[in-house]
Amino acid sequence: MSSPAAQAVPRPVHEAAEGTLAIGVDIGGTKIAAGVVDESGHIVARTRRPTPADDPSKTQESIADAVRELTSEYTVVGVGLGAAGFVDEKRSTVMFAPNLAWRDEHLRESLEDRLGMPVIVENDANAAAWAEARFGAARGETHVVILTIGTGIGGGVVLDGKLFRGRYGLAAEIGHFTIVPDGRRCGCGLHGCWEQYGSGRALVLEAQEQATVAPSMAQELLRLAGGRPAGITGHIVTEAARSGDVTALNCFDELGRWLGRGMAALAAILDPGMFVIAGGVCEAGEILRAPTEAVFRKNLTGRGHRPTAKVRIAELGNEAGLVGAADLSHLR
């Protein structure tokens, strides 16, 4: 039988062979994903919780509970939170989050009080962009624009090896620069925003429309969608394109045209060394990257007389936000 003294010895926590550990938390509208991340960007432990999105206090407690679970086993130096929304320049307050009930939420201060350790808050797209720049497709590149192509267009900008946040912390809302004056109405209330033409939603709407107008040219698309144009999803468009479906391939060409034009406009302003295409749509790989790069090169100001940014597909997938948030916690 163990002695009382032996029973009282606390359970040892894990140390990282690769160096200092931090916790990254990716806060979505339906789930909170948290993980312990080492200095090489590897996730060594994970946990998750549902997001009580309509209750700010309960959301914070769920985050704290996930962090406590991880710190019961691992020694960490800080916590980085990635949240979808506007985060102030001090990386402290979530000013507005469209999928959470956060309005001017002083998240860093509140969670530091709950956890007793340093916390930083970052926009989730910025966190994912940082991860790709540090550990993913753009590692080694100091000037990067990451495009997150999903329902809309998000992204992040790294300049001179530093995450660019702007004066008020709101930089890189690149899905909402106007690409078509007086064009389609956007959910933000404006017209002609880039994400209305170059997003995953735009890809699906284009495929549904083409399958309705010319079903004989979209046979694989319709087969995968059960014969219903309304049943076409982004994954179905990708699968059909891989099978050679003409309509699906045309839809990716159209998406590439819009992305390439927007990237050329950004290159004229930011002059990055690389663009990285991330988000759900990037599962299409070369089917999307190749036409996007071709249009980008065609529309680039001074083409043929200047260096041209590389265009790559992201490598870290859904883990990017968590990894980036953890790594940014070291830079508090």
Domain boundaries, the chain: 4-129+320-331, 138-315
Determine the Cα–Cα distance for residues 89 and 167; give it in Å rounded to an integer: 7
Class of domain 138-315: alpha beta
- Which fold does the domain 4-129+320-331 belong to in CATH? Nucleotidyltransferase; domain 5 (3.30.420)
The DSSP bridge partners found for residue 149 are 153
The DSSP bridge partners found for residue 154 are 148
Q: Render 118-161 in DSSP notation, one character per residue.
A: -EEEEEHHHHHHHHHHHHSTTTT-SSEEEEEESSSEEEEEEETT
Amino acid at 259: L
Q: Do domains 4-129+320-331 and 138-315 have the same CATH topology?
A: yes
Per-residue model confidence as pLDDT tens for the chain (332 residues): 333 333 332 333 444 444 699 999 999 888 999 999 999 999 999 999 999 888 888 999 999 999 999 999 999 999 999 998 899 999 999 998 877 788 999 999 999 999 999 999 999 999 999 999 999 999 999 999 999 998 899 889 999 999 999 999 999 999 999 999 999 999 888 999 999 999 999 999 999 999 999 999 999 999 999 999 999 999 999 999 999 999 999 999 999 999 999 999 999 999 999 999 999 999 999 999 999 999 999 999 999 899 999 999 999 998 999 999 999 998 76
Determine the Cα–Cα distance for residues 274 and 257; give it in Å rounded to an integer: 18
Tracing tokens 């080694």 back to the chain, one arrives at 140
pTM above 0.85, yes or no: yes
Determine the Cα–Cα distance for residues 267 and 300; give it in Å rounded to an integer: 7
Q: Render 16-73 in DSSP notation, one character per residue.
A: -TTS--EEEEEE-SSEEEEEEE-TTS-EEEEEEEE--TT-HHHHHHHHHHHHHHHHTT
Query: Six-digit token pair at 52?
Result: 């009580």
Q: Select from 150, 119, 149, 148 the least CA-distant residue to 132.
A: 148
CB 149 within 8 A of CB 199: yes
